[in-house]
């Protein structure tokens, strides 16, 4: 196999033609054809040496599933320049080691940003109106009688202060959409954005402590790495308003889940909307599942046709840059 771009996946069949049919075949290959790109498909279930042989000329590896030997494989491929993911998250990749080898890692360039932003806002709305309980009550035949809670537990978003932690591709889209919902937007980020960017987002930068203390809704949009692990723990949760809600659509490990469970059980904060948990799939005995002030979705905030299409274009365009000898975009530096 002489392809310079290899999709390495959890495929059952090692036959290249069969793999193409299995993996987003029609759309992906149509996009590749328009870009004049030749793609090889390799099953990560094959013998390691067979994988090395099939990938030996690759300049770009695109893992469509986690592969434990990716670092070893990268070291054995002398031509490799880029590991490119279809996802926004790259936390499972050993970026420091790859950087030492001269290999860059890129994510999907915000391909799913709109879908995740919409999902985060959907969770805000659902939590504020106990939408999950309303739906269950109607389906269970109890109608209004099944919808319980004090009047203060049912709120609109209008007039609320929304604190966004991470004003990047997703956080900025949350901000732009919520400004039309008559919300006040504040944000915290370790990066510095120019005034035009802040103006477009209608967002004001504040210190993290101020955001935690003054927000009615706090929504998390940061990458998961050593610097953001348990960014929200007991100390941060204790600073939040008792009436506040927490939304997490980034990664479960950004929040100390044990601490979150305790403040939700004691109602030191009002509620949470989570698309991610520290252990996924969530364990059956996780207390979060039995709390009526928590809404959980199964890490599918990105699930939208548009996310998939955007990812295909971004990923293949980035691979094409590398094949041409150009520098890739959306490089994720080790932290």
* Residues forming the active site: 251, 280, 299
**DSSP of 87-142:** SS--TTS-HHHHHHTT-EEE--SSTTHHHHHHHHHHHHHHHHHTHHHHHHHHHHT-
247 in helix, strand or coil? strand
Helices 305-323 and 113-129 meet at what angle, rounded to 10? 150
DSSP H helical segments within 16-112, as ranges? 16-22, 25-34, 48-54, 70-76, 95-100
- Name the token pair of 303: 């699930």
Residues 6+ apart with CB under 8 A from 221: 116, 120, 164, 165, 166, 167, 168, 170, 171, 174, 249, 250
Distance of CA 245 to the CA centre of its chain: 20
């Amino acid at each position: 196999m002489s392809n310079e771009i290899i999709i390495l996946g959890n495929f059952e069949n090692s036959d290249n033609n069969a793999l193409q049919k299995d993996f987003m075949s029609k759309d992906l290959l149509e996009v590749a054809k328009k870009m004049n790109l030749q793609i090889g498909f390799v099953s990560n279930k094959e013998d390691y040496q067979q994988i090395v042989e099939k990938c030996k000329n690759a300049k770009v590896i695109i893992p469509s599933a986690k592969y434990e030997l990716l670092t070893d494989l990268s070291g054995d491929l002398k031509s490799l320049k880029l590991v490119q993911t279809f996802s926004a998250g790259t936390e499972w990749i050993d970026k420091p080691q790859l950087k030492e080898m001269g290999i860059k890692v890129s994510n999907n360039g915000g391909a799913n940003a709109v879908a995740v932003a919409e999902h985060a806002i959907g969770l805000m709305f659902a939590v504020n109106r106990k939408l999950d309980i309303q739906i269950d009550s109607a389906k269970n035949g109890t109608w209004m009688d099944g919808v319980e809670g004090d009047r203060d537990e049912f709120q609109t978003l209008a007039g609320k202060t929304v604190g966004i932690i991470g004003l990047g591709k997703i956080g900025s889209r949350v901000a732009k959409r919520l400004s039309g919902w008559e919300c006040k937007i504040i944000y915290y980020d370790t990066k510095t954005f120019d005034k035009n960017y802040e103006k477009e987002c209608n967002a004001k930068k504040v210190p993290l402590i101020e955001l935690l203390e003054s927000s009615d809704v706090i929504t998390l949009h940061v990458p998961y790495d050593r610097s953001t692990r348990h960014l929200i723990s007991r100390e941060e949760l204790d600073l939040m308003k008792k009436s506040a809600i927490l939304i997490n659509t980034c990664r479960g490990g950004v929040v100390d889940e044990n601490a979150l469970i305790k403040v939700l059980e004691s109602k030191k904060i009002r509620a949470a909307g989570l698309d991610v948990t520290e252990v996924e799939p969530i364990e059956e005995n996780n207390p979060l599942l039995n709390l009526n002030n928590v809404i959980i979705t199964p890490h599918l905030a990105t699930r939208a046709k548009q996310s998939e299409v955007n990812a295909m274009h971004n990923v293949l365009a980035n691979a094409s840059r590398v094949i041409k000898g150009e520098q890739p975009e959306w490089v994720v530096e080790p932290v």
